[in-house]
Amino acid sequence: MAEYTPPLRDIKFVLSNIVDLAGLAALEGFEHSDPDTVFGALDEGGRFMAEVVAPTNSIGDKEGAVLSDEGVVITPDAFKNVYRLYVEAGWGAVPFPPEYGGHGFPWVVGLSIQEMLAASNMAFSLLPMLTQGAIEAVLLHGSDELRGKFLEKLITAEWSGTMVLTEPQAGSDLGVVRTRAVPQDDGTYRITGQKIFISWGDHDLAENVIHLVLARTPDGKPGTKGLSMFLVPKMLVNDDGTLGDTNEVSVVSLEHKLGIHASPTCVLAFGDDEGSVGYLVGEEFEGMKNMFTMMNSARLSVGLQGLAISERAYQDALQYAQERKQGRAIGTQPGEHSLIIDHPDVRRMLMTQRAYIEAMRSLLYTNAEAMDIALNHPDEDRRQEAAELADLLTPLSKAWSTDLGVELTSLVIQVYGGMGYVEETGVAQHFRDARIAPIYEGTNGIQAMDLVGRKLPMRGGEVVRGFIGRMASIDADLAAAGDDLASIRSGMTDAIAALSDATMWLAQRGMENINDALAAATPYLRMFSTVTGGWFMARQALAAHAALNNGAAGDEFLQAKVVTARFYAEQLLPQAAGLLGAIKGGADVLFEIDPGFLGV
């Protein structure tokens, strides 16, 4: 396996040419986020992730997390020093407010650090990712008392956080959550119930674990509108900030999973005796609204995992293809064996990985930039525009990137051939680890339904139409670039026409027959994402092409940018138009076979 090399030049290229990092640095509070400062931090972050975190990836996969006879979750030994160094370096504090110990950088900067962390060790990276969600929930919805008591330790990562949502009978249907929260005379609540699939629900790395729990108060009506959010610490916290007694949060069991073995996925029991002490976060019955603060951030971070693990696996495939000899490429002398990278089909697989990775990075970073602008821009209209863009891009970021994470890690195994299917080579771990990402934080089918059911109708469809129009407007710049980018221009023209056709059909059909719209949701999300990826690749090509013509001639990195964008436009983007039939196919054929005969 290759040693992980942070793709720093590509990250900086996206931050400079796709994301307006300099523009973000002009916003109040981000003055220290100028490109030079950020790029210096990225250099150091890349070094830390590559040298400190990345070597623990396969170790964690082999050792896994285990539950002791005493009910304590034990993580791999190598993680303990890594986490200590992570806390000391302050990497978890990058995008959070200075008044609580954060470094105050834009979210997109934190995301770029997070990419390198997730690529280094996906299982380990889930711990800081979940803590970020807990921080956001307390920061935006918690009382001053809760912020003062819990935020600083969460931001320093001395304490970790979780999202505690589903239960054995619930799955994705949180409306049937049964966990109870009974109010007490002192303003606290007593929490009782059992929760499942709680990533990093317990561990031996941080001093305390802060759970953000969905529960139902006695007056809570059935369904999601009756749910409230509660902060439930594993260890109670005294008024002076020191840790007190345990809080009746116990680990019932750990799940035995396909991948991310070092990330403990817990079944948690709250309130074995009197009930766990919990603190209401926000208003009663606003639990789902508050939880989506965590969920939307988590969905972007999970999409990032698709990118990160694809990048890590791609580096393995590229090194292997440059070392492995097999067969004889066209033009090779008889009796000689060729490196497999000289075979067209292997080149196709490698270029497919490279192109999708570059498209994903632009999508995810733009999504984060939109979130930054929505929260921090002084102009209300600009904030609203950015919030709508973030809402639109989030299902694409989560679903497309995680689907590609599975597809691209599978391609890496294919590059390795039979050796890829052997665990000792290590690349099978990437495929196993990647498979969870399309499932959690809202399965990708739910993301597709969200796109069609909630995002397509925003402002009467104007948000989507405006975004498609924005993508279409790149035609003039591509035309001005001439023959060098001609195939990108023609590819984008055809793809945008197909996307516009599909969008109009869905807008009409969704009102006439909701089942037809839902049946079209997944292929529509794939089409929308593929075209959006093409737009980002076209923008990268334009930026590289301009640089090559203005003093950077001969720069192989920039030349490769143009070629990769052409590959995307010529060989990946045509898939978008091919999805039109599936989108317009309707739901009837899905239900024509009686369920009892589906297995015959």
Catalytic residues: 441
CA distance 184 to 286: 19
CA distances from 190 to 164, 271, 340 (A): 16, 8, 62
CA distances from 55 to 49, 76, 121 (A): 9, 13, 8
Q: Which amino acid is at 266?
A: C
Cβ-proximal residues to 191 (8 Å cutoff; 6+ apart), any chain: 179, 180, 181, 213, 215, 230, 232, 270, 271, 275, 276, 277, 278
Strand pairing class (159-164; 208-216): parallel
Q: Which two tokens stand for residue 180?
A: 């109870």
Q: Which two tokens stand for residue 369?
A: 């930039």
CA distance 546 to 542: 6
- Give the helix ranges, DSSP H, for 513-554: 514-548
Answer for the pair 195, 270: CB distance below 8 angstroms, yes or no. yes
CA distance 169 to 166: 8
- CA atoms lying within 13 Å on the CB side of residue 479: 6
**What's the N-to-C CA distance of the chain in angstroms?**
44
Q: Which amino acid is at 314?
A: Y
